[in-house]
Amino acid sequence: MAAYIVRRLFWAAFVVLVVTMLTFLIFYVMPPGNPAIRFAGKAPTAETIAAVEERFGLDKPWYEQYGIFVKKLVTGDEWGWPGFGFSYDTRVAVRDELIERMPRTIFLAVGAAVAWVIVGVTIGVISAIKRGSLLDRLSMGFALFGVSAPVFWLGLVALFLFADTGGGPEWLQFLPGTGYVPFSDSPKAWFLHLILPCLVLALLYAAFYARMTRGNLIETMGEDYIRTARAKGLSERKVIAKHGLRASLTPVVTMFGMDVALLIGGAVITETVFNWQGVGSWVIRATFDSNLPVVVAVVLVGAVAVAVFSLIVDIVYAYLDPRVRYQ
């Protein structure tokens, strides 16, 4: 298993490198126009544009720029390690801004993940057990709604109904509105501000997970070994929890790992709707503003997150399914 993990880590590093190179090509090489013009002042002259290009390193061939980027990534730059450079827009070190924003995105992702696993798996299990019942149909109706409703709409409705700045019934407005409050400022306010965006983000995923859990569990409960377990006299609860659920959750685990990893790159829409000031809303604006170091840094972080979580998922998978063994 250790050898497997080491091999996977090397492979992950290679994949991340390829991702950054592709990102470079997509954002630095392919687009028409010169991003330096945008940052060269009110009336850019050839001199100011050249000065910006030199400052931003855009005067070098793209492969040289990429080489410098990788080198600084490994060795660090004047702002520390890893060396992500500075934001073209604000001249703030990308690393510093990333360190400030990443916890907000992580809180959002983890909070939503906890919510959607609890809600989604629970609904899925109940639905599978009570298959065909009214409860099952209501659950799947909820799942259909969750899958169909756009996240931005859900967010706006949630703010309208439950936020104290919304226009809904006053008796429902018991949560604060948008914005992020640091934990150090007020743990209570931090938590209260986290509720709505987490639930809104979780709803879509909960719907998927409910459907997937239900389908997998129904299929698993039809297996021979389940019948054997029942025949041996185990309680239905034990049959489901110990035998049925464990087997049916393996694809859910795989999906969970990938979903959380992708959210680390920023739940863009949720962050924008709730003014969450995380990584997602930051990178979207950077994309439109041609703020390339920010884009590349966030893509890199996202790629690393996917690679790491993919490895974690595989390890957990091996634990859940004893038939899986890595050499």
Partner 1 sequence: MKRWRLVGIAALVAALAFAVAACGGEEAAPPAEPPPAEQAPPAEEAPPAEEPPAEEAQPGGTYRVDVETSFDFTAGFDPTAEYTAIGWGFYNTLIRKLMTYRQTVGPPGNEPLPDLAADFPEISEDGLTYTFTLKDGIKFGPPLSREITSQDFAYAFNRLANPNVGAFGYPLYYEVIEGFNEVADGKADTISGIETPDDKTIVFHLTKPTGDFLFRVAMPAAGPVPEEVASCFSDEAGPYGRYLISSGPYMLEGSEQLDVTSCDTMKAISGFDPEAHLLLVRNPDYDPATDSPELRENFVDRFEFRINTNADDCFARVKANVIDDTICGETGKQIKEYTEDPELQDNLKLDQDDSIFYLSMNLTQPPFDDVHVRKAMNLVMNKTGLIRAWGGPAIGDAATHVIPPSMAPPDLQGYDPYPSANFEGDATAAMEEMKQSKYDTDQDGLCDAPECKNVLNIMGNLARDKGMIPVIEESAGKIGITFKTRQLDNPYEFIFTPTEKVPFTGTAGWGKDYADAFTYFLYLFDGRTITPEFTYNEPLVGLTAEQAKEIGIDYPAEGVPSVDADIDACIAIADLTERTACWGDLVKKVMEEIVPWVPWIWRNSSIIVADTVTKWDFDQHSGHTAYTHVAVDQSKQQQG
The widest CA-to-CA distance across the chain, in whole angstroms, is 84
Smaller CB separation from partner 1, 67 or 179: 179
Contact (CB, 8 A) for 79 and 96: yes
Contact (CB, 8 A) for 149 and 203: yes
Smaller CB separation from partner 1, 113 or 163: 163
Count Cα neighbours of 270 within 13 Å in the Cβ-side half-sphere.
30
The answer to whether 259 contacts partner 1 (rule: CB under 8 A) is no
- Among residues 130, 227, 242, 285, which is the contact residue for partner 1, using CB under 8 A? 285
- Among residues 202, 207, 290, 297, which is the contact residue for partner 1, using CB under 8 A? 290
Q: Alpha-carbon Rg of the chain, whole angstroms?
A: 24
Smaller CB separation from partner 1, 37 or 316: 37
3-state secondary structure (DSSP) of residue 184: coil
Cis previous bond, 176, omega within 30: no
* Phi, psi (rounded to 5 degrees) for 182: -60, 145
Smaller CB separation from partner 1, 147 or 156: 156
The answer to whether 177 contacts partner 1 (rule: CB under 8 A) is yes
Contact (CB, 8 A) for 265 and 302: yes
Residue carrying the six token digits 């998978």: 317
Which residue stretch of 59-67, 197-205, 274-282, 307-315 sits at the interface with partner 1 (rule: CB under 8 A)? 274-282
First to last CA, the chain: 6
The answer to whether 145 contacts partner 1 (rule: CB under 8 A) is no
Q: Return d(Cα 148, Cα 144) in angstroms, integer.
A: 6
The answer to whether 288 contacts partner 1 (rule: CB under 8 A) is yes
Binding mask 61-100 for partner 1 (x = CB under 8 A): ----------------------------xxxx----x---
- Among residues 105, 220, 248, 272, which is the contact residue for partner 1, using CB under 8 A? 272
Task: Give the count of residues interacting with partner 1 (CB under 8 A).
Answer: 53
Binding mask 153-172 for partner 1 (x = CB under 8 A): x--xx-xxx-xxxxx-----
Site for partner 1 in 179-208 (CB under 8 A): 179
DSSP states along 66-103: HHHHHHHHHH-BTTBSS---B-TTT--BHHHHHHHHHH
Site for partner 1 in 4-63 (CB under 8 A): 32-34, 37-49, 51, 55
Q: Return d(Cα 257, Cα 311) in angstroms, integer.
A: 9
The answer to whether 281 contacts partner 1 (rule: CB under 8 A) is yes
Site for partner 1 in 292-321 (CB under 8 A): none
Q: Return d(Cα 42, Cα 118) in angstroms, integer.
A: 53
3-state secondary structure (DSSP) of residue 175: strand
Smaller CB separation from partner 1, 195 or 320: 195
Q: What's the min distance (Å) between Cβ of 80 and partner 1?
A: 14
The answer to whether 137 contacts partner 1 (rule: CB under 8 A) is yes
Binding site for partner 1 (CB under 8 A): 32-34, 37-49, 51, 55, 89-92, 97, 101, 134, 137, 153, 156-157, 159-161, 163-167, 176-179, 271-277, 281-282, 285, 288, 290
